[in-house]
Structure 1
Amino acid sequence: MVTVHISLLFIFAVLIGFMPCISAMIRARWTAIYKEDSRLQTAYSLESVFDEVTFIIGPPISVTLSVAFFPQAGLLLAAFFLIIGVLLLVLQRDTEPAIISISSESTSHKTHSVIRFSLVKILTVIMIFMGVIVGTIDIFSVAFANAQKIPAGASFVLAAYAVGSCFAGLFFGTLKLSTPLHHLLCLGGIATFLTILPLIFVGSIYSLSFVVLISGIFFAPMIIVTMSLIEKNIPENQLTEGMTWLLAGLNVGTAIGATLTGQRIDYSGVQSGIWIAIGASALVMLIGVLGFQRINHKNNKSYV
């Protein structure tokens, strides 16, 4: 029976993997609506906040249903919401970005993926390591809570991370900053490392919740900054692809982080798991600083 359940989960995960990136599609619509408008950052912020809200309310609802009814109840509800959400998005004809006709002169440019752009490579790698941090916190929180004999405490830790990111996204969206985006990318990378580093000193669920709350504050703004850099420097007709690379990197990184952390904890103990997040945050900082130097010496349109 366990094998059957795992097989069904695997099939479901594979089918989800073949779906287009809904988040990228929605952000592309925001870009089309608020192109060259200061409200675009607010729209990106709002989108990131909605993402974090799902991480706050989704797990408790899913776990409650699975415990109260049957193990697959939470998964079925997620599938139901997915179907409804996709249908509602498809029906939004008024917000669809206009189809851009490609002239014969630009056909060759169209055939090339935006991953050839060095900017996209830099941001995608950053998002991969940001995802590693998320995956590590997910697994480490559960293992740490179990070690503390408070299994339910993991939900508080994960909610704290999402709440920190959620409120930071709301606040960031209200700001009208004149600081160049590549400066913000560099500063965000440094802040990511400095706020993850205190994980070394956590000794209780409360201290762990506080640390991830603070580190979560810089998660949503980093997503917003990377998306804004893509919006300003990628051809309009390839914007969805550019955003998809970033979000795919985030998801891949989350899977890698969860896998590495789980193995590390199994073989070396709970506390050893934090070094995956710390290492990933150090790489986010390093790539952010190096990316800042590279972008700072290039014209805004010459990232190929």
Structure 2
Amino acid sequence: MPIDSEITRYRDVLALPAALRTFIPALVGRSAYALLPLSLLFAVHDLAGSFTAAGTALAGYGFAGILLPVKAGLIDRHSQARTLPVLAVCAAVPMAVIAVVSPANAALLVVLATSAGIAAPPLGPAMRSSWRSLTRGTPLKRRAYALDSTCEETLYLGGPLVAGVLLVVWSPRAALLLVVVLLLLGALGMATAPPARCRVHETSPAGPWTLSRGPIGAPGLRLVVAAILVTALGLSMTYTCLAATASGQGRPAVAGFVEAAIGLGSVVGGLVWGRLEIAASRSTQLARLIAFLGVGMAFASMTTSLIVIGISLAIAGLAIAPLFVVSYVAADDLAPENQGTEAGSWVNTANNLGSALGASAAGLIVDNARAQWGFLAGAVALLLTVAVVRLSRKSLDTTPAAQ
């Protein structure tokens, strides 16, 4: 996999017409999502005086993410220009009520947080849909997706740190109000960018939205979504078992450092991956990256040394961003032209669902056995997924036009 000799700089992606005009607002809007968890958690806690209420509010916001494909489908049907502003305002109003009106009723706070989650605009899938439009006719799509994924990873890596500073310097409600402002600026900026204003009416999906009529009906996309769900499950189990191992050795802070190292590895891996010239098929790329992660988890299961675990997982982290790049590009290629936003959103949905299931499963393992069994279970799940991907490679490597 040599370094691409034809176009070797991410600058070429950003030099595309309207790329910066679209990408900068997308990053601004997504930075709101990176700041939101801690801001919302502590804002609700301050008002309700209960971490139970705060946790329930945050869970309500997160659970609403299951509606992501529905919102993405609306964008495919009605354009970003029409859909993003409406969703952004509907998401911003409940958060603004929490930050400004400051109700103390726990049930009302949970309802407001859940309402914000229901309406939260799918800025990530929308930006990837814009990249699809911006890179059409060029060899830059994979590189654009790599840049997008690594920037998003960086935001979520630094978001909690920035939120922590804001909570100390300001207050949770002030931080939540900043989330509202960033979300509105980002969504409205994307909605007024050239790719959002372009709309081809004749290619819009006809009829009402249904699950069976969406891109998830394609066997290849279902395989990608299933692979991401299991991978996210394994990664979430790893994070939980890492925290349990560090806590059991009286060094809980080490878990945070290792997670940061995994995130940094992912950023580096994504940037390098985007500059590689890769001839392997989609299924081969997906299988190799998942296997790389699985082997790292397997090594972590063989020891209780936090240093060895940290090194193993940091190296394995190199595959995380590339895995999502491959998955997003595959979802884009396997979906019809008029359903790209929804197709990409299924990858996000699978990741969120897998993370939730993995945390729950790892909790059960840690409470009833050793954390190393959790690492091993995650590794086995990923390696079994590799086998499934290889056995089903025809559906993944065949484009819709050829099916």
CA distance in 1, matches of 2:203, 2:395: 31
Distance in 1 separating the partners of 2:281 and 2:57: 47
* TM-score of the aligned structures, taking structure 1 as reference length: 0.86
178, 186, 205: which one pairs with 1:80? 178
Deviation for aligned residue 1:81: 3.2
Q: 1:181 to 1:79 in 2, by over 3 A?
A: farther
User: Is 2:244 the counterpart of 1:148?
Assistant: no
Amino acid at match of 1:161: I
Q: Deviations over 1:181-205 (max 9, x none)?
A: 3332232233232232212123222
Query: Which residue identity lines up with residue 193 of structure 2 in the other structure?
Result: D
Q: After superposing the two structures, state which structure 1 stretch, 174-183 or 132-141, moved more.
A: 174-183
- Tell me by how many angstroms 1:116 deviates: 0.8
Between the two proteins, the alignment pairs up a number of residues equal to 298
What CA RMSD, in Å, does the superposition of the two structures yield over aligned residues?
2.8
Closer, same or farther in 2 for the Cα pair 1:4/1:155, shift >3 Å?
same
Compute the displacement of 1:127 (Å): 0.9
Q: Hey, what does 1:234 align to over in structure 2? A: 335
Distance 1:100 1:118, change over 3 A: same
**Alignment check: 8 A CA contact 1:261 1:273 kept:** yes
Percent of counterpart pairs with the same letter? 20
Matched, 1:91 2:168: no
> Aligned-pair distance for 1:78?
6.2
Q: How does 1:199-214 map to 2 (within 5 A)?
A: 199-214=300-315
Verify the 8 A CA contact 2:223 2:396 in the aligned structure 1. no
Structure 1 unaligned spans of 5+: none
Amino acid at match of 1:176: E
User: C-alpha offsets along residues 232-258 of structure 1, whole Å, 9 cap, x if unaligned?
Assistant: 221111000000011110111011111
Aligned residue in 2 for 1:136: 237
Distance 1:85 1:266, change over 3 A: same
Q: Which amino acid aligns with 1:33?
A: L
Partner amino acid, structure 1, of 2:228:
M
Question: Any unmatched runs of 5+ in structure 2?
Answer: 1-48, 63-113
Q: What is aligned with 1:5?
A: 54
Asked if the contact 1:189–1:289 (Cα under 8 Å) also holds between the matched residues in 2, the reply is no
TM-score, structure 2 length as denominator? 0.67
Aligned-partner residue type, residue 302 of structure 2: F
User: Is this contact kept in 2: 1:192–1:284, CA < 8 A?
Assistant: no
- What residue in structure 1 maps to residue 387 of structure 2? 286
Amino acid at match of 1:278: A
- Of the three residues 117, 124, 127, the one matched with 2:218 is 117
